[in-house]
Structure 1
Amino acid sequence: MPSGLPPAARLHRPSEYAAALKGRRIARGALFVVSSPRESCPGVRRLGLVVPKRHAPLAVTRNAIKRVIREAFRLRRDTLPDGDLVFRLVNRPAPASLTALKRQVRAEIDTLLERVAKC
């Protein structure tokens, strides 16, 4: 059985992203902002990622950030409230090795997911 995030657990359409980004901000960290739409579907927990090129110019960096966020979400998905969550990178990470960047992102995402779980 694949351990990845199933397609039903991800946002796909621009309208879904727009609704979440226009909704409320649930949590904010040094690098990320977590948004959620005002209305949510019961029993559904989905993830959306916005990692713009201007904050992470290298594709390798953007993809590493997305992989770390998806894995953290997958592991905590059952403890989160129902609804869509969009993680948006709002600040450029400090120059560091890819391993250090992954650790920094994982630490911040874990903190943000804990805040979201308490909402």
Structure 2
Amino acid sequence: MPSVPAHAFPKAVRLTKTDEFSSVFALRPRRRSQHFVLYVRPNGLPQARLGLVTGKKFAPRAAERNLVKRMARELFRLRQDQLAGRDVLLRLQAKFPRADFSSRAAIRRACLAEIGALLDVAARPLPPPVQPAPAGAHPPAAAPTA
């Protein structure tokens, strides 16, 4: 079995299937930043997995989309141990306006700050899942008063 380089992003740590993305998108966003939305859910696996959505609507140039994805993957890789057992999905939700982000370095700085902060939020303990009431269950009756 070939060894995996330390900087690799293997398939086991990626969300790849539509169902995997849908199950995370079904949740409410955990946090929003100026350009990104973060979704997090427990995955029951020993490792964390990352999903990225960077559409042409918000990053029309391929170079921008690729830069955002590279930055997100690297920041995720550095925090993988803190995120173990979670599916993390980052979605680009706003454009990087040319007036404010005239260079790739400016976009890189914004991604570093925003994605880093969002992954810090993702590493926090998750709230316990809400358990639906069993069918046919009635709320507890009030205690009789004398």
User: Same fold by TM (over 0.5)?
Assistant: yes
Aligned counterparts of 1:21 and 1:48: Cα–Cα separation in 2? 10
Q: What RMSD, in angstroms, separates the aligned Cα atoms of the two structures?
A: 1.4
Question: TM-score, normalization: structure 1?
Answer: 0.91
Query: Which residue is equivalent to 2:93?
Result: 90
- For residues 38-93 of structure 1, give each alpha carbon's deviation from its aligned partner in whole angstroms, at most 9, with x where no partner exists: x5214131000000100000001000000000000000110125221110011111
Q: How does 1:71-82 map to 2 (within 5 A)?
A: 71-82=74-85
Q: Which runs of 5+ in 1 are unaligned?
A: none
Q: How does 1:23-62 map to 2 (within 5 A)?
A: 23-37=27-41, 40-62=43-65
Query: Which residue is equivalent to 1:101?
Result: 107
Q: How many residues align?
A: 118
Any runs of at least 4 consecutive aligned residues in structure 1 with deviations exceeding 6 A, and if so which?
Answer: none
Q: Tell me, what secondary structure is at the counterpart of 1:24?
A: coil
Q: Tell me, what secondary structure is at the counterpart of 1:60?
A: helix
Contact 2:75–2:116 under 8 Å retained in 1: yes
Query: Which residue is equivalent to 2:121?
Result: 115
Aligned counterparts of 1:49 and 1:73: Cα–Cα separation in 2? 11
Query: Which residue is equivalent to 2:9?
Result: 5
Rg larger in structure: 2
Q: Tell me, what secondary structure is at the counterpart of 2:22?
A: helix
Q: Look up the equivalent residue of 2:112 and give its one-letter code.
A: R
Distance 1:76 1:2, change over 3 A: closer
Aligned counterparts of 1:72 and 1:108: Cα–Cα separation in 2? 11
